[in-house]
Amino acid sequence: MKAWKHFKTITYHKWLVLQHCFKVGLYRQGLFHDMSKYSPVEFLVGCKYYQGNMSPNNAERMDKGYSSSWLHHKGRNKHHFEYWIDYGLPPGTGMTGMKMPVKYVVEMMCDRMAASKVYQKEKYTDASAYEYYMRGKGVHMLHPESAQLLEEMLFMLKEKGEEETFAYIRKHVLKNK
């Protein structure tokens, strides 16, 4: 039963991201978003730790002290800022967030919206993804320009709604794509 519920959850999430990505013109990213979630290393962990109200990765992390599923996932999906963490320049400056290509920042926003819709269900509002991001902002290792773009889009979603935000992204953020 958990396997079926997990499959439905990740497929619904993927469907929402596809819809959001299509609305801004990111068709390829919408189609291929989060395909690694169906791989055994991610899917089986998701089934084992499925709860329905939060990511199974959090439960695996609480149980084992790390999430093998998350480590696999973030290393294969460029819409996660963790994918872009590397040693900074000049050498010796430590780990830092690298500037993300704009299309992946937009996909990250679509992903955060979809995750909020999936987990919050009827409690979701256009402010949900912004509020979730702001609660964790202090610990994100995100390049300042990528963070600024993400925050602007999430804030616009909160204030103006999906339709106006998607139109703005199509016309202004992704205008050269």
Report whether pLDDT(173) > 60: yes
**pLDDT greater at residue 53 or residue 96:** 96
Residue 92's pLDDT is 86
pLDDT band at 1 (very low <50, low <70, confident <90, very high): confident
Report whether pLDDT(176) > 80: no
Task: Dump the DSSP string for 8-19.
Answer: HHHHHHHHHHHH
**pLDDT greater at residue 175 or residue 97:** 97
Most distant pair of Cα atoms in the chain: their distance: 51
pLDDT tens for each residue of 21-46 = 999 999 999 999 999 999 999 999 99
Q: Three-state DSSP class for 167?
A: helix
Task: Dump the DSSP string for 50-119.
Answer: --SSS-HHHHHHHHHSS-HHHHHHHTT-TTSGGGGEEE-SSTTS-EEEPPPPHHHHHHHHHHHHHHHHHH
pLDDT band at 130 (very low <50, low <70, confident <90, very high): very high
pLDDT band at 14 (very low <50, low <70, confident <90, very high): very high
Report whether pLDDT(177) > 80: no
Mean pLDDT for 150-162 is 98
Mean pLDDT for 151-155 is 98
Alpha carbon of 53 to those of 58, 93, 119: distances in Å?
Answer: 11, 38, 5
pTM of the predicted model, to two decimals? Answer: 0.94
